[in-house]
Structure 1
Amino acid sequence: MSSQTIPNGLMQRAYLTPNRVAVETPQTSLTFQELHKRVQKVAQQLSFNGVKQDDTIALYMKNRVEFIEILHAVSYIGARLLLVNTRLTNEEINYQLTDANVSLLIADETFLMREFQSSITQLTLPALKSSPEAETGFQKTWNLEETFTIMYTSGTTGHPKGVLQTYGNHWWSSVGSALNLGLNEKDCWLIAVPLFHISGLSILMRSVFYGMKIILEERFEARAVNEAIENKGVTIISVVTSMLSNMLDELGERKYPHTFRCMLLGGGPAPLTILEACVNKEIPVYQTYGMTETSSQFVTLSPEDSLRKLGSAGKPLFPCAMKIVDEKGNETSEAGEIIVKGPNVTKGYLNKPEATEKALQQGWFYTGDIGKVDEEGFLYVLDRRSDLIISGGENVYPAEIENILLKHPAVKEAGVTGVADEKWGQVPAACIVTKEDVSDEELSLHMQQFLAKYKLPKYFVRVEELPRTASNKIIRRKLSSFIQKGS
């Protein structure tokens, strides 16, 4: 075995601790050995349907055990898996399937089959499960440099980019998290975030590396999540601020058991009121900073520093390095771009050599985020990825929304920014210069054809002109004043 390979994660875990519970849902409970047996069968069914080593298949599915089975079955064959956000429109999904040269799309039976490229075979989960099993050789080792999963993230130009995530990215992300949060043989991680997000997928990978039980929820419901923490031995959960807020409201005067040791909070710094409520209830909150390109968390703030370093994302995980650079690429003690390096950082973007070359320079990944490091080494993220809006934990890029708005014949110019929202943290809002009268309803109907619901602007404000730089770029930070006047 070379230094660049490790044993296939689930196969090795089923061999080491076959009788440990791997995953539990309200409907079922599987040990690692039982999961392994299921995955072998699914791999043979995928093989019958033409999936071969190095193929790319797509998974369009809600949180369920079968998602986990297909994920690992793809690794048993040696194929790659594109994880599709179930909230996207046909057009958004079709772009990803075409760009990634997907040969087979496996869909949850609760989703209607959609119109995609004719070259892409669509298969519902029941159809896959009823397929015959073809003999196939299983991949017993993982090459750490090989791409395993692909997730698309919108870019500042409005064109989504496929982030390549290798087996090594997932392995080192898991190692870094364990070195930071610790690891206990009784750990149980509850998943109520989508599995097609890096936050959900990273937990699935940690499960097999750690030999850790996960409790899988189909969707987030505060009452069900709190009940699991209180009564089912949950020790860790990953959340965004809107989820944590709902959990605190539902918890009321109750407290979590002392066995619950980690509330891993992503999606931006939490408000002081929420942090203080967690301190009062003795809830250990670990704030984090990460992205799809870093295979989950990269910087984490421990509970003991959450109030002392209010607004900070913390310090890098053990295998990772971080620094702040100015416009010339020189390290600075002032505010500048956050750049990161580590074995959990992507090797690049699918079919986007120019974007890859721009983002990865001399081993450093340029995040596009603006931040500052204090005298103790704590990171403060000042501006998320070039005007990025984070709405309920989802990344929303203004340029993508602006491009769709400009497709409407009545819209001459469009500028989008994020505005504060009590429920979602932020929501998109649009300033538009129009050629003719057009209603908000008509604009919303137009945009629903192209964009997922969470990307739709909550407000449309008509303006005579947009604020621009000398080079004619929209100054999005100045759009907020128009929104406040017009909303």
Structure 2
Amino acid sequence: MTTSAAGAEPAGGLKPVTTRVMNLAHFLTRNARRFGDRPGLIWGERQWSWRELDAATHALCAALAARGIGKGDRILVHSKNCGEMFVSMFAAFRLGAVWVPTNFRLMPDEVAYLATSSGAKGFLCHGDFPDHAAAVAKESKTLQFTWRIGAGSFGETTLTEAIAAHRGQRVPDAVVDRDDPCWFFFTSGTTGRSKAAVLTHGQMGFVVTNHLADLVPGSTEADASLVVAPLSHGAGVHQLVLTARGAPTILLPTERFDIDEAFRLIEKHRVTNIFTVPTILKMLVEHPAVDQHDHSSLRHVIYAGAPMYREDQKTALAKLGKVLVQYFGLGEVTGNITVLPTYLHEEEDGPQARIGSCGVERTGIQVAIQNDAGEELKPFETGEICVIGPAVFAGYYENPEANAKSFRSGWFRTGDLGHMDEEGFVYITGRASDMYISGGSNIYPREIEEKILTHPAIAEAAVLGVPDAVWGEIGVAVCVARRPVDENELAGYLAEKIPRYKMPKRFFFFEELPKSGYGKVPKRLVRDELERRGLLDFVRTPGGSV
């Protein structure tokens, strides 16, 4: 398995005697010993103690091993948040296999591509997604079995049945080295095509330690975390962090984001921390439920994934108190680039408010603002934000071209543009790519453009993100049509081809797209033309084409 992106021989030719590290599943072993009867996972009316979670993980490991899963094998998981998904992570870790979770909102063909590109041997699929299971089975050349999570009629067995059949069996933690993969974290980077960022046991051990130090300092088994995002990505990392402390994770009872229920759970379980994105945080503090439930237990409300408007920051601070923690970090650095802690969040404007900053370097991490030649720039000069440190991933799985573009002299290139002030506070000012962030999710225009262009009436298409007070940014599509077509027709056509969160908010139709002297369609020219025509004023106005 080729994963390494960059490296160098240690000084003097010295090499460590061993690179063996703790298997991340040991967190469960430790919790079962120390906090066996305490809750580790709460989902609706169901609670699992740490002892039960550890036993279920051992049983699932035994079942997977009997089906041929071993060290280095990839296990694809497409599921909504649930107890089985929680257990599947630690089962993969314990076997030395690789956990390969997907965003459950992806379309069947997208999940099939992830199965193929990762070389997944097993597929654990939620019962609500039979079309995804069929697509993976059809496209994958490496898949050997599909097991179902929950109700449904596909798969050779269910996780519940597999665990029950092997209950009581114990599987020793696989011996793992620092660079052994444990998680494929899918990210599209700047290309729009999903790539598997390889996270390793050693790297994730550092990430957990860093999150505990910088995001939720002082956490113990007495804390509790509410999950309001899919466990497949950042929320899964945060859940791993709380597991390291023996604190329970609380899942919303359904995939629907019920704000009143969220505050009810915060009050009931005395929740101390939440990992979220600015869009969700804005919804939480603007909902009447914030004034109807006791949320005084909250100490750390962590937001990431997109910048947060200053007025929204003020509202959140006024409603929740001085509990906000912002961090900046990509999947490739597992969230570990900068942090703006609680004490640096000021409700009143002024020099101490650090308005617009995403914070300072994380513990053990170094950030540099570099020009195109890789030279470090002076304070306040704009360049690419680059990072080095133990949280940086091992590289993209079997993608040397992407690795070559993403690393330079050992530095990981984030693709984000920004500057640093004289005290080391980082400010993100733009992105090197056309990618935009809507509701905390990265949206890649090329992927959507390609789907639009499959409509027989569309000759050309350009998608770009524009500012939005609710979602941070929303998508706008500008198209050239061969025949009359309106927004409703095009949106209906795309509804079966892309997830709802990727759907452009508006579709505009031009006779031609603005082009450069080389025949390309720069997004800046499209944006300028939208501005010139005054169309951006209509972006949030429903109706047909303008």
**Normalising by structure 1, what TM-score?**
0.93
The change in CA–CA distance for 1:341 and 1:401 in structure 2 (over 3 A counts) is same
Provide the C-alpha distance between the structure 2 equivalents of 1:90 and 1:362, rounded to a whole number of angstroms: 38
The answer to which of 445-454 and 92-101 deviates more is 445-454
Provide the C-alpha distance between the structure 2 equivalents of 1:460 and 1:277, rounded to a whole number of angstroms: 32
Partner of 1:116: 136
The Cα of 1:465 is off from its aligned counterpart by 3.3
Deviations 1:340-379 (A, max 9, x none): 1111111111221110121022221101001111122111
Q: 2:211 aligns with which of 161, 170, 177?
A: 177
Provide the C-alpha distance between the structure 2 equivalents of 1:236 and 1:438, rounded to a whole number of angstroms: 48
One-letter amino acid of the structure 2 residue matched with residue 160 of structure 1:
S
Matched, 1:64 2:95: no
Provide the C-alpha distance between the structure 2 equivalents of 1:280 and 1:423, rounded to a whole number of angstroms: 18
CA contact (8 A) 1:156 1:399 kept: no
Q: 1:429 aligns with which of 476, 489, 498?
A: 476
Structure 1 vs Structure 2: percent identity of aligned residues? 27
The answer to which of 149-158 and 474-483 deviates more is 474-483
CA contact (8 A) 1:294 1:344 kept: yes
5+ residue gaps, structure 1: none
Partner of 2:326: 287
Provide the C-alpha distance between the structure 2 equivalents of 1:102 and 1:252, rounded to a whole number of angstroms: 43
The Cα of 1:425 is off from its aligned counterpart by 2.4
Provide the C-alpha distance between the structure 2 equivalents of 1:255 and 1:316, rounded to a whole number of angstroms: 35
Partner of 1:193: 229
Deviations 1:305-364 (A, max 9, x none): 334111110012101111101121111121110011111111111221110121022221
Provide the C-alpha distance between the structure 2 equivalents of 1:24 and 1:11, rounded to a whole number of angstroms: 19
Provide the C-alpha distance between the structure 1 equivalents of 2:170 and 2:366, rounded to a whole number of angstroms: 41
Q: 2:94 aligns with which of 72, 76, 89?
A: 76
Residues 194-209 of structure 1 aligned to structure 2 (within 5 Å): 194-197=230-233, 199-209=234-244
Matched, 1:266 2:304: yes
CA contact (8 A) 1:158 1:403 kept: no
CA contact (8 A) 2:74 2:120 kept: yes
CA contact (8 A) 2:308 2:472 kept: no
Provide the C-alpha distance between the structure 1 equivalents of 2:229 and 2:291, rounded to a whole number of angstroms: 25
Q: 1:303 aligns with which of 315, 327, 342?
A: 342
Matched, 1:158 2:192: yes
Residues 228-243 of structure 1 aligned to structure 2 (within 5 Å): 228-243=265-280
Provide the C-alpha distance between the structure 2 equivalents of 1:140 and 1:100, rounded to a whole number of angstroms: 21
The Cα of 1:136 is off from its aligned counterpart by 7.9
The answer to which of 127-136 and 323-332 deviates more is 127-136
Provide the C-alpha distance between the structure 2 equivalents of 1:15 and 1:328, rounded to a whole number of angstroms: 53
Partner of 2:542: none
Deviations 1:228-269 (A, max 9, x none): 223311111011122112211224545854431111011222
Matched, 1:341 2:374: no
Provide the C-alpha distance between the structure 1 equivalents of 2:296 and 2:211, rounded to a whole number of angstroms: 21
One-letter amino acid of the structure 1 residue matched with residue 149 of structure 2:
L
Q: 1:330 aligns with which of 370, 375, 378?
A: 375
**Secondary structure class of the residue paired with 2:507:** strand
Partner of 2:4: none
Provide the C-alpha distance between the structure 1 equivalents of 2:207 and 2:417, rounded to a whole number of angstroms: 23
Partner of 1:143: 177
CA contact (8 A) 1:268 1:288 kept: no
One-letter amino acid of the structure 2 residue matched with residue 200 of structure 1:
A
The change in CA–CA distance for 1:155 and 1:3 in structure 2 (over 3 A counts) is closer
**Secondary structure class of the residue paired with 1:87:** coil
Deviations 1:366-393 (A, max 9, x none): 0100111112211111114512221111
The size of the alignment, in residue pairs, is: 486
CA contact (8 A) 1:429 1:483 kept: no
**Secondary structure class of the residue paired with 1:164:** strand
The Cα of 1:473 is off from its aligned counterpart by 4.1
Deviations 1:446-482 (A, max 9, x none): 4334322211212111123334444444322343344
**Secondary structure class of the residue paired with 2:337:** strand
Provide the C-alpha distance between the structure 2 equivalents of 1:110 and 1:154, rounded to a whole number of angstroms: 25
Provide the C-alpha distance between the structure 2 equivalents of 1:85 and 1:180, rounded to a whole number of angstroms: 27
Provide the C-alpha distance between the structure 1 equivalents of 2:387 and 2:485, rounded to a whole number of angstroms: 45
Matched, 1:133 2:166: yes
Provide the C-alpha distance between the structure 1 equivalents of 2:290 and 2:183, rounded to a whole number of angstroms: 40
The answer to which of 119-128 and 131-140 deviates more is 131-140
The Cα of 1:19 is off from its aligned counterpart by 3.7
Q: 2:450 aligns with which of 400, 403, 415?
A: 403
**Normalising by structure 2, what TM-score?**
0.83
Provide the C-alpha distance between the structure 1 equivalents of 2:411 and 2:445, rounded to a whole number of angstroms: 26
The answer to which of 400-409 and 28-37 deviates more is 400-409
5+ residue gaps, structure 2: 1-16, 151-156, 347-352, 539-546
The change in CA–CA distance for 1:242 and 1:84 in structure 2 (over 3 A counts) is same
Deviations 1:370-426 (A, max 9, x none): 111112211111114512221111110112112222333332322111123343222
Deviations 1:81-107 (A, max 9, x none): 211111111111111111111122111
The Cα of 1:56 is off from its aligned counterpart by 1.0
**Secondary structure class of the residue paired with 2:329:** strand
CA contact (8 A) 2:307 2:472 kept: no
The change in CA–CA distance for 1:153 and 1:115 in structure 2 (over 3 A counts) is same
Matched, 1:226 2:271: no
CA contact (8 A) 2:69 2:97 kept: yes
Provide the C-alpha distance between the structure 2 equivalents of 1:151 and 1:359, rounded to a whole number of angstroms: 16
One-letter amino acid of the structure 2 residue matched with residue 396 of structure 1:
I
One-letter amino acid of the structure 2 residue matched with residue 4 of structure 1:
R
The answer to which of 200-209 and 312-321 deviates more is 200-209
**Secondary structure class of the residue paired with 2:433:** helix
* Higher fraction of strand: 1
The change in CA–CA distance for 1:256 and 1:318 in structure 2 (over 3 A counts) is farther
Provide the C-alpha distance between the structure 1 equivalents of 2:148 and 2:19, rounded to a whole number of angstroms: 39
Q: 1:362 aligns with which of 391, 409, 422?
A: 409
Deviations 1:189-233 (A, max 9, x none): 211111012x11112221232222221224332112222223311
The Cα of 1:15 is off from its aligned counterpart by 3.3
Deviations 1:37-58 (A, max 9, x none): 1111111122233323221111
Partner of 1:46: 64
The change in CA–CA distance for 1:33 and 1:143 in structure 2 (over 3 A counts) is farther
Provide the C-alpha distance between the structure 2 equivalents of 1:252 and 1:55, rounded to a whole number of angstroms: 45
The change in CA–CA distance for 1:345 and 1:237 in structure 2 (over 3 A counts) is same
Deviations 1:260-294 (A, max 9, x none): 11110112222222222233231411122111111
One-letter amino acid of the structure 1 residue matched with residue 58 of structure 2:
Q
CA contact (8 A) 1:323 1:338 kept: yes
The Cα of 1:140 is off from its aligned counterpart by 4.6
State the Cα RMSD in Å. 2.3
